[in-house]
């Protein structure tokens, strides 16, 4: 049985960007840092399969010392038992290497809340890590516990209110979307898209948002990607300089449906590549991006 190079590549990418980036505590050098994390959320009660707008904050204290490596945010959303429900680990941009003492640094991100089928309280925890480092960065207020993440917010999560709010209920995948692929170990799934992918949106009868979370193969193509969202011949929005993991959100006005029950938009992604043509196996599909989440509601 042969394995598609794109599948192997996809699994490797997911493992690389997985939230863990951790070893056993005994293998880490403890580094105390004078940085206090914070989080502001646009709402503290949310249904599963929806999006949150989150403002991340990092306050440096008087004892803060500059980082020598590139720092990443470690953000886990956990239930009462400590199990991770979802996460938003991400590189800090602009770089935390430029931080100085007694400053507050904030930025906003869109975070997807996956389908959760029962009521639960979720606690958001934040910390910092340096990729490929053996250091464990201990935050203020954790005492001698050696905690590298601190609780910063609580969210009440409920199941979706109606069947129309379930994942992919308001979308239909058309030409340019490849078959669903899965990584059972990481419990993740994705679809590759070609250089043009057709997407049918079901009319919700109100303003809605299209949210895409994916991965652009900039490391393979040695070039950032560009995503153009079109409706008929009209450009709705363009997202440029996409590299690696990316997210894109677009407001969809009801007028695009022209009183119809559905409409089609096109996702034009460039550049693209064919693995078999660059010596990466026999996969002859045109690949432009991996899409982990396609949300419209």
Q: Encode pLDDT of 217-233 as tens digits.
A: 999 999 999 999 999 98
In sequence order, the 6+-apart residues with CB closer than 8 A to the CB of 207 are 251, 252, 253, 254
CATH number at residue 255: 2.60.120
Name beta bridge partners: 264. Answer: 200
Residue 227 resides in a domain: yes
- Tell me how far apart the alpha carbons of residues 297 and 294 are, in angstroms, rounded to a whole number: 10
Q: What is the pLDDT of residue 34?
A: 95
In sequence order, the 6+-apart residues with CB closer than 8 A to the CB of 239 are 226, 227, 228, 229, 246, 248
Q: What is the pLDDT of residue 164?
A: 85
Residue 105 belongs to domain spanning: 33-158
Instruction: Check whether residue 153 and residue 103 sit in a common domain.
Output: yes
Instruction: Check whether residue 194 and residue 249 sit in a common domain.
Output: yes
Q: What is the pLDDT of residue 27?
A: 60
Instruction: Check whether residue 225 and residue 273 sit in a common domain.
Output: yes
Q: What is the pLDDT of residue 19?
A: 45
Number of domains in the chain: 2
- Which tokens belong to 122? 């979720």
In sequence order, the 6+-apart residues with CB closer than 8 A to the CB of 1 are none
Instruction: Check whether residue 151 and residue 50 sit in a common domain.
Output: yes
Instruction: Check whether residue 146 and residue 184 sit in a common domain.
Output: no
Exposure string (b/e) for 102-131, b if CB count within 10 Å is 16 or more? Answer: eeebeeeebbbbeebeeebebbbbbbbbbe
Per-residue pLDDT tens digits of the chain, which is 297 residues long: 444 545 444 444 444 444 444 444 446 688 999 999 999 999 999 999 999 999 999 999 999 999 999 999 999 999 999 999 999 999 998 899 999 999 999 999 999 999 999 999 999 999 999 988 889 999 987 554 558 899 999 999 999 988 888 888 999 999 999 999 999 888 889 999 999 999 999 999 999 999 999 999 999 999 999 999 999 989 999 999 999 999 999 999 999 999 999 999 999 999 999 999 999 889 999 999 999 999 999
The predicted-structure confidence for 66-115, as pLDDT tens digits, reads as follows 999 999 999 999 999 999 999 999 999 889 999 999 999 999 999 999 99
Cβ count near 182 (within 10 Å): 13
Question: Domain end: 140, 158, 176, which one?
Answer: 158
10 Å CB burial of residue 228 (0-12, 13-18, 19+) is middle
- Which tokens belong to 273? 């590549």
Instruction: Check whether residue 280 and residue 232 sit in a common domain.
Output: yes
Instruction: Check whether residue 277 and residue 175 sit in a common domain.
Output: yes
Residue 215 resides in a domain: yes
CATH number at residue 75: 2.60.40.2550
* Contacts of range 28-32, beta carbons closer than 8 Å, 24 or more positions apart: 28/134, 28/135, 28/136, 29/134, 29/135, 29/136, 30/135, 30/136, 30/138, 30/146, 31/135, 31/136, 31/137, 31/138, 32/138, 32/140
Q: Are 127 and 228 in contact (CB under 8 A)?
A: no
Residue 24 resides in a domain: no
Q: Which of 138, 155, 141 is nearest to 39 (CA)?
A: 155
Question: Domain end: 133, 158, 183, which one?
Answer: 158
Which residue has tokens 């042969």?
2
The alpha helices in the chain, defined as continuous H runs, are 5-16, 218-221
Instruction: Check whether residue 101 and residue 178 sit in a common domain.
Output: no
């Amino acid at each position: 049985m042969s394995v598609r190079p794109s599948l192997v590549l996809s699994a490797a990418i997911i493992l690389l960007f997985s939230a863990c980036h951790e070893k056993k505590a005994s293998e880490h050098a403890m580094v105390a840092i004078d940085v206090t994390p914070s989080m502001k959320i646009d709402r503290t009660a949310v249904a599963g399969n929806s999006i949150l707008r989150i403002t991340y904050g990092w306050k440096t204290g008087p004892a803060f010392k500059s980082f020598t490596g590139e720092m990443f945010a470690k953000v886990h959303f956990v239930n009462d038992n400590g199990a991770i429900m979802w996460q938003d680990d991400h590189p800090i941009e602009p770089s935390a290497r430029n931080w100085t003492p007694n400053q507050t640094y904030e930025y906003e991100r869109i975070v997807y809340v996956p389908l959760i089928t029962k009521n639960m309280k979720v606690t958001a925890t934040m910390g910092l890590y340096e990729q490929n480092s053996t250091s464990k960065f201990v935050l203020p207020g954790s005492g001698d516990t050696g905690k590298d993440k601190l609780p910063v917010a609580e969210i009440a999560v409920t199941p979706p209110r109606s069947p129309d709010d379930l994942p992919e209920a308001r979308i239909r995948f058309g030409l340019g979307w490849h078959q669903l692929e899965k990584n059972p170990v990481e419990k993740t799934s994705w679809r590759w898209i070609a250089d043009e992918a057709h997407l049918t949106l079901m009319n919700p009868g109100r303003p809605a948002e299209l949210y895409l979370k994916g991965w652009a193969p900039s490391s393979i193509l040695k070039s950032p990607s560009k995503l153009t969202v079109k409706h008929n011949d009209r450009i709705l929005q363009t997202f440029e300089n996409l590299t690696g993991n990316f997210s894109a959100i677009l407001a969809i006005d009801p007028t695009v449906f022209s009183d119809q029950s559905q409409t089609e938009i096109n996702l034009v992604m460039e550049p693209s590549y064919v693995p078999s043509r660059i010596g990466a196996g026999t996969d002859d599909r045109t690949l432009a991006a991996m899409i982990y989440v396609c949300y419209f509601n």
